[in-house]
A = this chain, B = another copy of it.
Amino acid sequence: MSQSDSDKGKQQGGGARAGEGRSAGRPATSGQSDKITARTEDFAAWYQDVIRQGDLAEAAEVVKGAMVIKPHGYAIWEKIQADLDRRFKETGHKNAYFPLLIPESFLRREAEHVEGFSPELAVVTIGGGKTLEEPYVIRPTSETIIGHFFARWIESWRDLPLLINQWANVVRWELRTRLFLRTTEFLWQEGHTAHATAEEARAETLRMLGVYADFAESVMAMPVIQGRKTQAEKFAGAVHSFAIEAMMQNGLALQAGTSHDLGQNFGKAFNVRFQNKDKELDYVWQTSWGVSTRLIGGLIMSHSDDQGLVLPPRLAPIHVVIVPIYRSDEERAAVLEQAQRLATDLRAQRLAGQALSVEVDDREGYKPGFKYFHWEQRGVPLRLELGPRDLAAGQAVCKRRDAAAKQTLPLAGLPERVLAELEAMQRELLDRARQRLREHTVLANSFEELAAILEPASAEQGGGKFVMVHLKDDAACDAKIKELKASVRCLPLVDAHDGPGKCIITGEPVAQRAVVAKAY
């Protein structure tokens, strides 16, 4: 490797030329450095740095708690959308669009729902220059307005199941916000379905939870625990809520998606009735389920490192960047010609059905080292370096974003090899995340043991754990856990380590362990 042009390029480069080092689209006036804080030093600062250097998003500041999703961040969201949308359609759902504004009175029709969402509402009181007779709230979620229309659309069992999804923005007035994880406005999808029986609604709730879990694992390379929320933690208006919970690199939990069994609560609130096969009128059984731009926060905290963003290939907007290396116009012409030919061949390869996205970084006035740094921070999974000596030797230098070492690979068969490397990276990111989840999941059999494990100083900077404890599903127990600045994440649907035991707070017998952790 020491002979290669690529390494020479790096020695020459290693940084930007004065005045040319700024990439288009990055805040010019921010005065922030290119430095990424180490995870062990300050995990929260590291997270912000990765987002800034990865050019993913920035705080809107002039709009309370809102963010701008920049092109590179939005491109990841588009890939998430495309994959999920296909899964929703394959399971029989159809997209539709309902109003952003909801009459304030609608929220009051379901008692738990209004209690849960009232503190978070943005309210429109003026329209077209006039004070409105009834204010509208900006949707924090759409169960109420969709319930209203379901009542108009559903008449008999023949109209069921009604399987709808909506891609939309929602607003929840949050006090403490964090890019992607908790913002006053966010983008999401919300599934809303109506069924003829409780069993069908429950099956749908769990089916979509499974869709989320499979997406998280196979596309985001983010292992999750599927579980039921405690009654204290459930969605305002649901009978039961289910969630997928992921572990971030610091051991904190992230609720990455939820699926709610709404029973007949909204059916009764909005009078959504149907004639069943016995010609009797009954209220429909409903579900709702959603994931949001929060997933991008989970993606970042699952895989990125102290050099910046790391993306699983299946969600990378650019899969491969080719960096040409040259010192003369003649060398430039020869190398670029080969680079373009290689790019064309690579684009014929397909990863999970998608043609590879390949960029040739032919920008002039930037040294190779600067380009390496640029694309590494943006999480491009694989880099190919190509110089005149590589050309002469019929090879290219390959650097996987998640590997320390470079490899020299023959140009012959390179596209197939690159695809195999991307597939391996996708797999290995998941394996590593699974190992982390395993290693940082522990058991506790008393409240004191739990408290010691969750000791505040150890979390946030990497010492967080998922602690499996026997716990009663009771608001008082949830409250007691909150004293540890942690929460009950879920009651796992499978693999809760062992069977029944005694609640570590009340001593009463319970059927299984729950996951307790500090969480975002």
Task: Report if A38 contacts B (CB, 8 A).
Answer: no
**Residue pair B69, A155 in contact (C-beta under 8 Å):** no
Is A187 an interface residue, CB under 8 A from the partner?
A: yes
Separation of A69 and B155 alpha carbons in the complex (Å): 20
* CB–CB B28/A159 < 8 A: yes
Interface check A68, CB cutoff 8 A = yes
**A-B pairs with the 7 shortest C-beta distances?**
A28-B155, A128-B173, A71-B94, A123-B126, A69-B97, A66-B99, A63-B99
Point out the residue from B67, B128, B149 that lies within 8 Å of A121, measured CB to CB. B128
Is B148 a contact partner of A62 (Cβ separation < 8 A)? yes
Let me know if A123 and B124 touch, CB within 8 A. Answer: yes
Q: Could you give, for residues 138-182 of chain A, a 1 whenever the CB lies within 8 Å of some chain B CB and a 0 otherwise? A: 100000010011001111101100101000110101010000000
Among A19-27, A319-327, A344-352, A429-437, the stretch that binds chain B is: A19-27
* 8 A Cβ contacts from A112-149 to B: 118-129, 135-136, 138, 145, 148-149
A-B contact pairs, 21 of them (CB 8 A): A27-B153, A29-B152, A58-B152, A62-B145, A62-B148, A63-B101, A66-B99, A68-B96, A70-B96, A71-B94, A74-B95, A74-B97, A77-B97, A97-B187, A100-B169, A118-B129, A119-B129, A121-B127, A123-B126, A125-B126, A127-B173
Q: Are A128 and B120 in contact (CB under 8 A)?
A: yes
Interface presence of A102 (CB below 8 A): yes
The answer to whether the Cβ of A30 comes within 8 Å of any Cβ in the partner chain is: yes
- Copies of this chain present in the complex amount to 2
B-side contacts of A120, CB under 8 Å: 128
Of chain B, the residue at the smallest CB distance from A171 is B100
> Contacts of A152 on B, CB cut-off 8 Å?
27-30, 58
Contacts of A27 in B (CB 8 A): 152-153
Q: Quote the shortest CB–CB distance from A59 to chain B (angstroms).
A: 10
Highest count of chain B CB atoms <10 Å: which of A29, A75, A153, A175: A153
A60 touches B (CB below 8 Å):
yes
Question: Does A501 reach chain B (CB closer than 8 Å)?
Answer: no
Given contacts A29-B155, A95-B74, contact A127 B136 (CB under 8 A): no
Q: Are A71 and B96 in contact, with the CB atoms below 8 A?
A: yes
A25 (CB) vs chain B CBs: closest residue = B153
Contact with B along A84-103 (1 / 0, CB 8 A): 00000000001111111111
Q: Within the complex, which residue of B29, B96, B98, B125 is in contact with A125, where a contact is CB–CB below 8 Å?
A: B125
- Nearest chain B CB to A145 CB, angstrom units: 8
Per-residue contact bits, chain A 101-115, to B (CB 8 Å; 1 contact, 0 not): 111001000000000
Say yes or no: is A185 at the interface (Cβ < 8 Å to chain B).
Answer: yes
Of B127, B175, B184, which contacts A123 at CB under 8 A? B127
| A78 CB-CB contact with B under 8 Å | yes
List the B side residues contacting A480 at CB < 8 Å: none
Chain B residues with Cβ below 8 Å from A485 are none
Q: Please judge, given known A-B contacts A22-B155, A27-B152, A29-B152, whether A185 and B129 are in contact too, CB under 8 Å.
A: no
Return the chain B residue nearest A164 by Cβ. B71
Question: Is A35 part of the binding interface, using a Cβ–Cβ cutoff of 8 Å?
Answer: no
Q: Which residue of B lies closest to A72 (CB)?
A: B94
**A64 interface hit (Cβ, 8 Å):** yes
Report B-chain residues with C-beta under 8 Å of the C-beta of A184: 127
What is the chain B residue whose CB lies nearest that of A118? B129
Say whether A95 contacts B123, CB under 8 Å: no
Q: What separation, in Å, do the CA atoms of A445 and B155 have in the docked complex?
A: 59
Q: Which residues of B contact A25 (CB under 8 A)?
A: 153, 159, 162
Closest to A63 in B: B99
Nearest residue, chain B, Cβ from A128: B173
Chain B residues within 8 Å of A68, by CB: 96-99, 149
In angstroms, how far is the closest chain B Cβ from the Cβ of A368?
19
Selected from B26, B145, B185, the residue in CB contact (under 8 A) with A100 is B185
Neighbouring B residues of A60 by C-beta, 8 Å? 98-99, 145
Since A24-B162, A28-B154, A128-B175 are in contact, a sample of 13 more A-B pairs with Cβ atoms closer than 8 Å, ordered by chain A residue number, is: A27-B152, A28-B153, A28-B159, A60-B145, A62-B103, A63-B99, A63-B102, A70-B96, A71-B96, A75-B95, A97-B187, A122-B136, A127-B173
Q: State whether A126 touches B136 (Cβ < 8 A).
A: no
Interface code A43-80, partner B: CB below 8 Å = 1, 0 otherwise?
00000000000000010101110111111001101100
**In the complex, what distance in Å separates the CA atom of A30 from the CA atom of B155?**
11
In the complex, what residue of chain B is closest to A27 when comparing beta carbons?
Answer: B152
